[in-house]
Structure 1
């Protein structure tokens, strides 16, 4: 269904997607990967994480997880 959009002023978009009207297909324009250890990305006021010996495997055998070269 068509949409009529009036004047719009977008100051900043950080890591989000802005769409107006009908959107058939939205594809990512960036991709990132983070490797972190057990309990390292916990957030909150009172976080209590009890970990024994922990290791993070950063080996990536498939090389490419999300290709974005064709999404220009």
Structure 2
């Protein structure tokens, strides 16, 4: 059935979102990201002690694409 839509005010649409008005069969947003972080970066909690005397993060990626988004 055709969709009947009233007034719509769009303030912003981010780069990883979908905006649709009306009939749609399927919508599938796709995005990908790669995160580099050193040792102990994502620890959470109370009273955590981390001892990283000499830590480095290797960000060299020779294959460029880990998992293609299609």
In structure 2, the residue matched to 1:37 is 38
- Post-superposition, which runs of at least 4 consecutive aligned residues in structure 1 deviate over 6 A? none
Alignment: residue pair count: 43
List aligned pairs for 1:1-72, cutoff 5 A. 29-68=30-69, 70=70
What TM-score results when the alignment is normalised by the length of structure 2? 0.53
What TM-score results when the alignment is normalised by the length of structure 1? 0.52
Q: Which runs of 5+ in 2 are unaligned?
A: 1-27
**RMSD value, Cα:** 1.9
Indicate how the Cα distance of structure 1 residues 51 and 63 shifts in structure 2: closer, same or farther if over 3 A, else same: same
Indicate how the Cα distance of structure 1 residues 28 and 63 shifts in structure 2: closer, same or farther if over 3 A, else same: farther
